[in-house]
Amino acid sequence: MNKQLRKAVIAGNWKMNKTPAQATQLINEIKPLVKDAGCDVVVCVPYIDLQAALAATVGTNVKVGAENCHWEPSGAFTGEISAEMLRSMGVTYVIIGHSERRTYFGDTDLTVKKRLRAAIDNGLTAILCVGEYLEQREQGITAEVIRTQTKIALGGISEKELEKVIIAYEPVWAIGTGKTATAEQANEVNKAIRDLICELYGKAAADKITVQYGGSMNAGNAQELLAQPDVDGGLIGGASLKSADFAAIVAAASK
Ligand code: PEP
């Protein structure tokens, strides 16, 4: 599979951090540091920061995403935000199925599938997160878990629509823990995801799809992870909140 066929994407996941004023400040720090990036650069921010982030990124190469979306366009879903609402404000990316949404907020493979459908129907680029718990890795069922999560989420997504899907392999045990998957572990699962895409959609689609790694990626380990043949970028939590660290990861992905 040819890595040159796809662009690396470095996406920050700010989680529940930053007020709108702080978001503007962080983006203003990031912008000059990443302006010559050889990869796509995205910041996925809390809903209340979207307006500020969109304003701060006008005319730059930094794209803005949300961290989740609901599948219905509108209705009685207190506290939710729809993909249509995101599109209407000019948001272009959205994270779908992050493990924190699955673990703490009841997201399931089926709701992830519905959210992905809505994101695609609204022209958003979706960052679909999949990943195993430590117990699942220890049981030796990582590949089965990842295949099941990915297959269910992609049900009904056409090859054309797949062009708007990025898959992020995020081992749950590595998120926010400081425990990174080794470069070999990350590449092994990313390759298994690409092999599944090949089975479902064919080689051309598998060659094209961006498969990120996420889980305690930082300025120190990014280069080794991103050098792997099947790692096409990263979804970055903690390190995306520090402009210099985030920029160092973008630089590593730009090589
Ligand atoms: C994430 O939230 O997607 C993530 C990978 O977090 P961290 O980089 O902090 O492990």
When pLDDT is averaged across residues 212-232 and rounded to a whole number, the result is: 97
* Within-domain flag for 31: no
- 236 Cα nearest atom in ligand 1: 8
Burial 114-142 (b: 16+ CB within 10 A, else e): bbbbbbbebebbbbbbbbbbeebbeeeeb
> What's the confidence (pLDDT) of residue 164?
98
- 129 Cα nearest atom in ligand 1: 3
CATH number of the domain that residue 101 is part of:
3.20.20.70
> What's the confidence (pLDDT) of residue 3?
83
* Within-domain flag for 188: yes
* Within-domain flag for 2: no
> What's the confidence (pLDDT) of residue 4?
79
Per-chain mean pLDDT for the chain: 97
Percentage of the chain beyond pLDDT 70 is 100
Looking at the structure of the chain, the number of domains it has is 1
Segment 5-17, tens digit of pLDDT:
898 999 999 999 9
Catalytic residue annotation: 98, 170
When pLDDT is averaged across residues 182-204 and rounded to a whole number, the result is: 98
What residue numbers bound the domain in which 122 lies?
A: 41-253
* Within-domain flag for 232: yes
DSSP labels, 213-232: EESS--TTTHHHHHTSTT--
* Within-domain flag for 107: yes
Segment 125-135, tens digit of pLDDT:
999 999 999 99
* Within-domain flag for 152: yes
* Within-domain flag for 12: no
Q: What separation in Å is there between the alpha carbon of 76 and the centre of ligand 1?
A: 31
pTM for this structure?
A: 0.98
Q: What separation in Å is there between the alpha carbon of 215 and the centre of ligand 1?
A: 5
3-state helix, strand, coil in the chain (%, to 5): 50, 15, 35
> In the structure encoding, which two tokens stand for residue 109, read together?
């493979």
> What's the confidence (pLDDT) of residue 1?
59
Q: Would you say 67 and 36 are in contact if contact means Cβ atoms under 8 Å apart? A: no
Minimal-distance CA residue to ligand 1 atom 6: 237
Give yes or no for residue 123 having a pLDDT over 80. yes
Segment 128-158, tens digit of pLDDT:
999 999 999 999 999 999 999 999 999 999 9
- 214 Cα nearest atom in ligand 1: 5
Protein residues whose CB sits closer than 6 Å to any atom of ligand 1: 13, 15, 170, 175-176, 214-217, 235-239
* Within-domain flag for 81: yes
Confidence of residue 29 (pLDDT cuts 50, 70, 90): very high
Segment 42-93, tens digit of pLDDT:
999 999 999 999 999 999 999 999 999 999 999 999 999 999 999 999 999 9
